[in-house]
Amino acid sequence: MAYGIPERAVMIALMALNKETRNSELKRRYRLDLKKAARDKLNREGLVQSRSLPGKGFAHELTDAGWAWVVAELDAKVPPRAGSPGGALYALLNGLKAALEARGMVIQDLFAPAAAGPAGSLRDRIRQAYRGLASLPRDWVELRDLRKQLGDWPRREVDLELARMFRENEVNLTLHEDRGRLTQADRDAALRLGVEDMHLISME
């Protein structure tokens, strides 16, 4: 599905804000206005979730599919008729992709809001889950099995914490070399780092 510059701009802004944002705030702070036709289109495509606020218009938030669209857009070419500001924006997106890959980060990590509580609580749960699955330290454990032990934690929070632990050299992550043996459960549980999907984890 093709999207115009206004639709693209709103989705990229919602990525950077990483929270439900009122249309009035988008207009006031960023001169972006998600009008009805564009709103209905993005809602229908499942990229943006919009909520009606009685007497206050709409509030919008990027969905998981919307985040996936933004990730794909990081190395996209400048759209036709984007103009100089659009060209500068896509130069920034392309540079952002290179920076994320160099650091082994995911884009959600970069724009994550400050944690409400100590990260150690989730980190401890990850360590406990790993030790319950691994026979020995540094054994490789399937991410699909680890995630089952963390079922009460939101997927995005787990992904962000795993990416932090990887950057801090607290865990090792790798992919299955034989992609033909991957199950759908393996694919669903994978963690995207840079341009690769990781399926296995190990730690001390």
Summarised one tens digit per residue, pLDDT across range 5-55 is: 889 999 999 998 888 899 999 999 999 999 999 999 999 999 999 999 888
- Give the total number of structural domains in the chain: 2
Same domain, 77 and 137: no
Average pLDDT of the chain is 87
What Å distances lie between residue 9 and 38, 44, 61, 165, 168, CA to CA? 12, 18, 13, 32, 33
Specify if 190 maps to a domain. yes
Same domain, 21 and 91: yes
**Domain edge (last residue) among 42, 75, 102:** 102
Q: How far apart are CA 37 and CA 4, in angstroms?
A: 12
The kind and range of the H/E element at 124 are helix 120-133
Specify if 110 maps to a domain. no
Please give the average per-residue pLDDT across 89-111, as a whole number: 84
Q: How far apart are CA 97 and CA 74, in angstroms?
A: 6
Percent of the chain predicted with pLDDT > 70: 95
**Domain edge (last residue) among 102, 130, 157:** 102
Q: How far apart are CA 78 and CA 32, in angstroms?
A: 19
Percent of the chain predicted with pLDDT > 90: 46
Specify if 86 maps to a domain. yes
- pLDDT at residue 45, as a whole number: 94
What Å distances lie between residue 46 and 5, 14, 26, 65, CA to CA? 18, 14, 20, 6
Give the up-direction half-sphere exposure of residue 21: CA atoms within 13 A in the CB hemisphere: 25
Same domain, 94 and 11: yes
Full residue range of the structural domain in which residue 168 is found: 120-202
Question: Are 23 and 60 in contact, with CB atoms under 8 Å apart?
Answer: yes
What is the domain-level CATH number for residue 53? 1.10.10.10
Specify if 157 maps to a domain. yes
- The two three-digit tokens of residue 192, written as one number: 């995207």
**Domain edge (last residue) among 46, 71, 102:** 102
Same domain, 93 and 126: no
Same domain, 96 and 176: no
The kind and range of the H/E element at 155 are helix 155-167
Same domain, 10 and 79: yes
